Structure 1
Amino acid sequence: MFVDEAKIYLKAGDGGNGITAFRREKYVPMGGPAGGDGGRGGDIIFISDEGLRTLMDFKYKKHFKAKRGAHGQGKNMHGAKGEDLIIKVPVGTIVKDDDTDEVIADFTEPNQELVIANGGRGGKGNARFSTSTNKAPSFAENGFPGEERWIRLELKLLADVGLVGFPNAGKSTLISKVSAARPKIADYPFTTLVPNLGVVETKNKNSFVIADIPGLIEGAHQGTGLGHDFLKHIERTRVLIFILDAAQIDGRNVMDDYNTLRFELEMFNEDLLKRPYLIVANKMDVAEAKENIKELEENFNDKLFKISAVTGEGVDILIEKAYELVESVPIEKYVGEERVVRKYKEEVPFEIEVINGIYLVSGERIEKLIAITNFDNDEAVKRFQRTIDTMGLEDALKDKGIQEGDVVIIGNIEFEYSE
């Protein structure tokens, strides 16, 4: 089964908690603070693997979680970092944020890697909070939560040459003739329901990758048939070969077929028509084919290749010309150079929404502050108060009209506002 789309949930490891501890030494009745920091949570790292061909691994497993960091210990001993989670994806995989549709990563080469979800920072132990005015702080931070998100994976095949044609035009027969690929072949439309890749070798032992894109039909650019599922795989091919049924076995006109195919490509992505292309009149072993292709011969001259995928007639010449075109197009022109990306995200400290008199405060920064604060410890609560004052939360709440006794909710914590 070919799987080229998947939606999965990622949860990077939470940071370990810092701890509150003090030195306990002989003849030192009250030693200084000695609580260590928690370890950083494990990251979730994607690596592109040329040995993978589908997203099948994500069909049955949808949730992935990295290990949390270890908690700090006494004697200023820091917790160990949580183990990273490595996830392998096929070359050609695009990673998108499911909520925003933003492209997070685009893996176009083998062994590219990127952190897709960052582990949380470990909480600071009480030794970190010692100052000249507070030499024995009795609080520590909890670990920061790791990043969590739903993402979508989309696989677009990376091939040098894409075979484009109507069902039953002979694409599968051709790819089976010129490579070791063995697609299903039969005398009815839509034999091929998934793309097939084959490696083609020229007479000089040069090679390139060819993709048999399942047959397009009229209206494919609107999603008719499985149009969008098929067309997206063409976007990363460097050269297009239009395979036409010169025998007109299905009763269609061969020139109309060509014009329809070009129209479908243009409607899906007009840049596709700017790529180098060849036109192949297939099934030349059928007697009527020579008469049927006269209009093609008049219009295309050296771009037209007459072949029989069944007998092999003309196939070698086609392959040599296809390789010549492939070599003339830099791979980065349509695939992209090192297109693994990780965009900087501007952090907004908080946002306030008032619903039915309740003040809802949200934002990654302030929610992390909630997560690391131990509200059972008075010193930790005081530090939390000082931090949100510095962030300007109280002034912002006043601007929104907050009154004594109103309810403020931040994350999963509810407060009653008081001056």
Structure 2
Amino acid sequence: MNFLYIFMEYLKMKFVDEVVICASGGTGGNGCISFKHNKNMSYPIPDGGDGGDGGNVWLLADRNLSNLIDYKFKKYIIASNGKNGGSNGRSGKNGRDIIIKVPIGTLIIDYDTGATIIDIINCNQKILLVKGGKKGLGNIHCKLFSNSFLNNKNNGSISKKHFFLFRFIFLANVGMLGMPNVGKSTFVTKISNVKSKIGLYPFTTIRPHLGVVRLNKENCFTIADIPGLIEGASKGVGMGVDFLKHLERCDILLHMISLSSMKVKNIINDINIIIYELTKYKNLLSNKTCWLLFNKMDLFNLNEIKDIVNAVIKKLCWKSNYYIISAINNTGIKNLCWDIVNFINKNISKM
């Protein structure tokens, strides 16, 4: 088997953000047909108890979970059945419920219709996913003596199987994107509590990371770092666009560009590649604010860098914000972070 295939499968197992599962509630317990005989009565008394309800399947948002790897191989989730009723009016025990714990930010989609059922966005949010079967009634409920009614067995109902797509998407204020090795992970590691792997080779980041940036007690924001994009990502080249879904809920996107080439043509080409791939993926830039971050200013003279950046901005006709920074030296980062906080607060106040 191809080593690259094995390696990519291994990476997928490390971070799972989409799974398909089959869930079913338990079957309701059957009602009991039973009669109590008394020598002082001319006919027996019905005393069959009800069955127990089938167990339900619940969803619970767990803040300690960061992906759906628990359900990578556990595809079938079935609650236990209700117990049958007994004589002397004894009811059967209800089936035990099953609780599926998912990370905050999980979309629950009906696999057959594609309709979104629920978006799990609150901590400890609990949702009934599949209801268990109803209990069968015992003949203790019969008031009139009738052979056709008293001896009819009332079975519990069966809970239908349902197929669901669980899709986990980060809930982040800020999303990082760009080509590989432009300094995204260095930047995120410097400003947040994330400890991303940093290296001098492509695709050092092989899974999304979510971090929290705290400027003071009152001001903070969350930031998502995804693997780098390359030309053809929308067709599956490199890491593909599988992780772009984690930018869909971001308030603002930070597009990082490396100044290492110091050539206007190369920089514009890199920017256009990312813009093209984002456009191919659900036209992600159409409703998102995007800022450009020109990184690695520590490598060259500041005046030369400004000339290059101004030329790039002019040729792109860029209307939004842009920043010249050095992630490794923390240059220009503080002002950028405060601008991000002000932008987020302004958007929240509008909402």
Relative to the length of structure 2, the TM-score reads 0.87
Please give the per-residue CA displacement for 1:253-293, whole angstroms capped at 9, x wherever unaligned.
22222233222222212253322222111111111644432
Matched, 1:59 2:66: no
Give the whole-Å Cα distance in 2 for the aligned partners of 1:274 and 1:92.
20
- Does the CA-based 8 Å contact 2:262-2:308 persist in structure 1? no
Which of 309, 319, 322 aligns to 2:340? It is 322
2:43 alignment partner, one of 30, 36, 60: 30
The residue number in structure 2 matching 1:313 is 331
Decide whether aligned partners of structure 1 residues 13 and 301 sit closer, same or farther in structure 2, where only a CA change above 3 A counts: closer
Match of 1:10 in 2: 23
Whole-Å Cα distance in 2 between the matches of residues 85 and 3 of structure 1? 21
2:311 to 278, 295, 301: 295
Q: Any residues of structure 2 matched to 1:121-200 within 5 Å, and which?
A: 121-128=134-141, 131=144, 137-200=150-213
Instruction: Render the CA deviation track for 1:225-260: whole Å, top value 9, x for unaligned.
Output: 333312111111111111111223899722222233
Moved more, 77-86 or 267-276: 267-276
Closer, same or farther in 2 for the Cα pair 1:331/1:176, shift >3 Å?
farther
Query: Matches of 2:294 and 2:124 in 1, distance apart?
Result: 39
Moved over 6 A (4+): 249-252
**Rg bigger for which structure?**
1
1:107-154 residue CA offsets vs partner (Å, 9 max, x unmatched):
122122211111000112123455576586112212111232332221
Greater mean deviation of Cα atoms: 321-330 or 232-241: 321-330
Asked if 1:235 is matched to 2:251, the reply is: no
User: What secondary structure sits across from 2:241 in the alignment?
Assistant: helix
Q: Deviations over 1:289-317 (max 9, x none)?
A: 44432224544477111100011100111
Distance in 2 of aligned mates of 1:6 and 1:331: 36
Q: Distance in 1 between matches of 2:341 and 2:219?
A: 8
Contact 1:235 1:272 in 2 (8 A): no
User: Relative to structure 2, which stretch is displaced further, 178-187 or 100-109?
Assistant: 100-109
Deviation at 1:224, TM superposition (A): 3.0
Return closer, same or farther for 1:86/1:332 CA change in 2, 3 Å cut-off: farther
Q: % of aligned pairs identical?
A: 36
Contact 1:76 1:127 survives alignment (8 Å): yes
Q: How does 1:36-55 map to 2 (within 5 A)?
A: 36-55=49-68
Cα 1:126/1:204, change in 2 over 3 Å: closer
Q: Give unpaired runs (5+ residues) of structure 1.
A: 334-419
Question: Do the aligned residues in 2 keep the contact of 1:19 with 1:139 (CA within 8 Å)?
Answer: no
Q: 1:373 corresponds to which residue?
A: none
1:266 correspondence with 2:282: no
**Alpha-carbon separation, structure 1, partners of 2:103 and 2:349:** 18
CA change 1:135–1:260 in 2 (3 A) is closer
Partner of 1:396: none
Aligned to 1:367: none
Partner of 2:94: 81
CA contact (8 A) 2:183 2:256 kept: yes
Q: Is the 8 A contact 1:9 1:63 kept in 2?
A: yes
Match of 1:281 among 291, 294, 313: 294
AA aligned to 1:276 is T
Relative to structure 2, which stretch is displaced further, 265-274 or 297-306?
A: 297-306
Paired amino acid for 1:53: S
In the alignment, the residues of structure 2 paired with residue 25 and residue 123 of structure 1 have an alpha-carbon distance, to the nearest angstrom, of 26
Q: Do 2:61 and 2:126's aligned partners in 1 also have CA atoms closer than 8 Å?
A: yes
The Cα shift of 1:81 comes to 1.7
Aligned twin of 1:120? 133
Please state whether the residue corresponding to 1:293 is helix, strand or coil.
Answer: helix
RMSD: 2.5
Change (3 A) 1:294 1:136: closer
Contact 2:57 2:130 in 1 (8 A): yes
Contact residue 261 and residue 267 of structure 2 kept, 8 A:
yes
Q: SS at the partner of 2:36?
A: coil
Provide the secondary structure at the position in 2 that maps to 1:323.
helix
TM-score by length of structure 1 reads 0.73
Equivalent-residue separation in structure 1 for 2:78 and 2:312 (angstroms): 57
- Inter-CA distance 159–182: structure 2 relative to 1 (3 Å threshold): same
- Kindly tell me: are residues 224 and 252 of structure 1, through their superposed partners in 2, closer, same or farther at Cα, counting changes over 3 Å? farther
1:337 maps to none
1:274–1:295: structure 2 CA closer, same or farther, 3 Å change rule?
A: farther
